[in-house]
Amino acid sequence: MSSVPLALAAVSRLAGSHDNVAIAVRRLEAGCELAFPSGRRPLAHTVLEGHRFAIQPIARGEPLLSWGMPFGFATVAIEPGDYVCNAAILEALALRRVDGLRVPSKPNFKDHLPGFTLDETAIFPAPPVEPVRPPRTFEGYRRPGRRGVGTRNTIVILGTTSRTASFARQLADRLHPLARVHPTIDGIVAIAHTEGGGTEEPNNAAEVLRTLAGFMTHPNVAAVLAVDYGVEPITNARLEAFLRKHRYPLDDVPHAFLSVRDGLAPALAAGERIVRGWLPAAAAHRRTPEPLSGLRVALQCGGSDAFSGVSGNPLAGAAVHEVIRHGGCGVLTEIDEVMGAEAYILANVRDRATARVFSDKLDAFRARLSWHGLTAESNPSAGNRFRGLYNIALKSLGAVHKKDPRTRLDHVIAYAEPLAEIPEPGFTFMDGPGNDLESIAGEVGAGCNLILFITGNGSITNFPFVPTLKITTTTRRHELLQHEMDFNAGRYLDGEAMEPLAHELFDLIVETASGRKSRGEHAGHSQVSFWRNWRQTDTSKLAELHARAAPSGAPLPLRPDLPAISATAARTLSVIRTADGYATERVGLVLPTSMCSTQIARLAVERLNAQQAGRDDGISRYVAFVHTEGCGFGGDTLYQLLHRTYRGYLTHPNIAAALLLEHGCEKVPNDVMRHLLEADGLPLDRFGWASVQLDGGIQKSLGHVEAWFKSAVAARPAEPVQSRGLGALNLALLTASTVTAPTAGALARIAAAVLADGGSVLLPEGDPLWADSGFRRELLGDAPPHPTLAYGQPLRRPGLHAVATETDHWVENLTGLAGCGAHVAIGIVGEHARQGHPLIPLIQAAEAGEQKRIPTADIDAFLSGEVDGDERTLTDWLVAAAERTRVPVSAASGFVDFQLTRGLLGLTT
């Protein structure tokens, strides 16, 4: 025990002057003695950086206060120096590996999230922000008509739905070098997203259309090419009609709509011709002095910590207040992150009508949560909690400080609703979810041309055509990630005054809007995710969905007289014998645990493949899965789905070495995965572990990844190649629509051959093939199918399996089947070719009647309608793809995608 107790000001900060708990600015060990107003006292437990401890007695039933507002109520008497903790933080800490951690065994407060009812009599109209005369200017791109002013000059390849996501990426990659020839063009970028690619009208169609329309007419866009197949629920024709109906300035931007109807290769060539034709005019644009009224700043936070509401958010709010004084606009969103802090937002509001719209948006979001059995408490991530945000009330109380108390709430808009339609938008609140990337897409769709991203943990996300300035909340985290972060708000915690810091950030905003590149732009990676579809529209199915029994994992009972293996299917193939069974190739996997680490995983495998790392040790290639999950979602069913599917891929029979790459602040971080894998009986030293944030940034984490694979691959034992029948395979089957009897018969014969030889066949539970009586009777007799595996559930018992994928989306189905352990997939497609999978080969065949719609070059085979011949064609392809002597078209041309389903109850929060 020290002779001189530590002063509270030296080790903690108060969020508000009337608080009864303080925030530790560094880790405080149990036994450390502090000087409290009531006297010196030792700490009974560890208090981690960002976590709270009492500074005065709090009686049982009294509120715990931050920013002078309650975030919980004491369940026992709390004394000065006591670490304050709820059940959620103790549960979160139990999953973390923290040396020397001593925390209470029981919580000492319960959460408090008050319900909100608007009292219009308490709303008093506030005056507008006092303007600056004359307003400052920045160097921007003045666009014609009503498009506004751009901060960047970018050509966009827009995948209208997820079906053309890989096409957009392919075309942008092909054209990207052209931007270097034209220095005034900031890039040729792809917008590839997850929405609109199913078979039915999505519930989020309005949000998707507004976002697409906003992207096409965005002032940062020099020209835009929208790409579809023309048969999706959301097509180019529907998008153009929406743009014109709602008076978007489409004719003021060079644009084209391209439908992939004559084949992928001809469409790529056509797209390239269109974009090349735009280059001279796009390159001719020049920056001119423009008033700051042309600046529309998106306010966003991600990877928030306890200091976000003390340093980073107030600093961003103060800087945006200055932008608004100069005539610009600030946009706040993440509606579930104002719940519990509504009074702060409405303390300075334009009028009662604005307050009413704000309240209505909150009610609508709460209703959507209830349809899926959720509350706002689903929002905080494991990273939020670990860094001191115990519950949504505490997170919200800090998040709302992105609005400066001097700033009036002027308007409330729908997700991606155009700001251009609002005269003098000032400070605007946009309805949008707490998920960082999904809410950013809405802000950009609304017209924001610069993003302020406040991050406590150190989020590294960027947007493709709008610059992002990342603001860290503490000096220590800023120094750890100095190559990824733009501004250190931790200087306020270190003693610098807020006002000069706000002016410095304001200057950086103006410089960045005028062309100065952000750290993220230098890094060259970005992500996009739209507000994802929600599956429920009321609570009518909730009880039934919650009552569903989990699939047992036992295969479907086959008919006792399963047909003998035909001569055509009596084939052998070369497979690799591993300790866990059979593999068709040996692959190194970098598995990103959330969307925010996906681009770094992609960079890692690009480097490993370029180095041909491990080729002499049997590794054929490396893969990473670029996806949108792991952060900003709610629902235990989705947690379970992610845990299950991640485990499925980590233990996939073709994966020889796997490393988990976390961002560091997601809902499924590495520590959680360690706990789950351990509980499943898997040795943790089988896997590699890396963290973008904790390793110290992108380059250090990439170095960590490379070093681990070099060591792990070199230590692998030799694995023999053996000749086996089709029973060595786990075969996935899926169809895009109802097939004819001959096609169903050929597939049934192949499935029977695999099953009779001891292998496995997997189909989505809702696949049209199950409805074919001939296929079903050939394998099951009269028994109806039922789900035997959950989405991504690792296959442990061979046989015929119906996988409960809970989706009609082709790529989501394929992702789930591969996660279950499929080596190879056969897909019967219609209307157009489909996207393949980055890990397993997808053999695409179409029936003869599709020859007029699907170009021969886009798929692997056309079927004849004759069972014997089609069985032979597909079996030949199956063996060749498994042995890697032939590569399916989707893999050879790079038209592959990876997308995890949200299931029936998963929801963005």
Q: Look at phi and psi of residue 495 and say left if phi exceeds 0, alpha if psi is from -120 to 50, else beta.
A: left
Kindly report, residue by residue over 134-153, the tens digit of the pLDDT. Answer: 999 999 999 999 999 999 99
Buried b (16+ CB within 10 A) or exposed e, 819-854: bbbbbbbbbbbbbbbbbbbbbbbbbbbbbeebeeeb
Kindly report, residue by residue over 842-874, the tens digit of the pLDDT. Answer: 999 999 999 999 999 999 999 999 999 999 999
SS3 label, residue 23: strand
> Which segments within 487-593 are labelled E, that is strand?
487-488, 572-578, 581-583, 587-592
Is the pLDDT at 239 greater than 80? The verdict is: yes
Is the pLDDT at 1 greater than 70? The verdict is: no
Residue 329: C-alpha distances to residues 319, 367, 510 (Å)? 11, 29, 13
Residue 64: C-alpha distances to residues 395, 493, 546, 703 (Å)? 14, 22, 34, 44
Euclidean distance between CA atoms 532 and 275, whole angstroms:
29
Kindly report, residue by residue over 197-209, the tens digit of the pLDDT. Answer: 999 999 999 999 9
Model pLDDT, residue 378 = 83
Model pLDDT, residue 634 = 81
Euclidean distance between CA atoms 818 and 842, whole angstroms:
10
Q: In percent, how much of the chain has pLDDT > 90? A: 92
Model pLDDT, residue 677 = 96
Instruction: Find the range with the poorest average confidence among 568-572, 582-586, 639-643, 707-711.
Output: 568-572
Report DSSP letters for 67-121, one per residue. TTEEEEEESS-B-TTPBP--HHHHHHHHTS--TT----SS-SEEE--------GG
Model pLDDT, residue 382 = 78
Model pLDDT, residue 114 = 83
> How remote is the C-alpha of 869 from its chain's centroid?
44
Euclidean distance between CA atoms 89 and 94, whole angstroms:
8
Per-residue pLDDT band at 591 (split at 50, 70, 90): very high
Euclidean distance between CA atoms 831 and 825, whole angstroms:
19
**Whole-prediction pTM value?**
0.96
Euclidean distance between CA atoms 267 and 273, whole angstroms:
10
Kindly report, residue by residue over 490-539, the tens digit of the pLDDT. Answer: 999 999 999 999 999 999 999 999 999 999 999 999 999 999 999 999 99
Model pLDDT, residue 635 = 82
Euclidean distance between CA atoms 191 and 194, whole angstroms:
10
Is the pLDDT at 569 greater than 80? The verdict is: no
Closest to 159 (Cα-Cα) out of 262, 214, 221, 236: 236
Kindly report, residue by residue over 424-451, the tens digit of the pLDDT. Answer: 889 999 999 999 999 999 999 999 999 9
Closest to 366 (Cα-Cα) out of 374, 357, 354: 374
Q: 382 is written with which tokens?
A: 């494991």
Kindly report, residue by residue over 25-52, the tens digit of the pLDDT. Answer: 999 999 999 999 999 999 999 999 999 9
First to last CA, the chain: 45
Euclidean distance between CA atoms 621 and 612, whole angstroms:
8
Is the pLDDT at 582 greater than 70? The verdict is: yes
Kindly report, residue by residue over 726-735, the tens digit of the pLDDT. Answer: 999 999 999 9
Kindly report, residue by residue over 710-748, the tens digit of the pLDDT. Answer: 999 999 999 999 999 999 999 999 999 999 999 999 999
Euclidean distance between CA atoms 700 and 671, whole angstroms:
19
Per-residue pLDDT band at 377 (split at 50, 70, 90): confident
> Which segments within 382-472 are labelled E, that is strand?
411-413, 427-430, 450-455, 468-472
Kindly report, residue by residue over 614-661, the tens digit of the pLDDT. Answer: 999 999 999 999 999 988 888 889 999 999 999 999 999 999 999 999
Kindly report, residue by residue over 393-407, the tens digit of the pLDDT. Answer: 999 999 999 999 999
Long-range Cβ contact pairs of 550-555 (< 8 A, separation 24 or more): 550/790, 551/787, 551/788, 551/789, 551/790, 551/793, 551/804, 552/788, 553/788, 553/789, 553/793, 553/796, 553/797, 554/788, 554/797, 554/799, 555/760, 555/788, 555/797, 555/798, 555/799, 555/800, 555/801
Helix (H) or strand (E) holding 438: helix 436-446
Model pLDDT, residue 842 = 98
Pairing of strands 487-488, 39-42: unpaired
Is the pLDDT at 2 greater than 80? The verdict is: no
β-pair partners for 622:
588
Per-residue pLDDT band at 602 (split at 50, 70, 90): very high
Kindly report, residue by residue over 772-806, the tens digit of the pLDDT. Answer: 999 999 999 888 899 999 999 999 999 999 999 99
Euclidean distance between CA atoms 216 and 209, whole angstroms:
11
Kindly report, residue by residue over 464-478, the tens digit of the pLDDT. Answer: 999 999 999 999 999
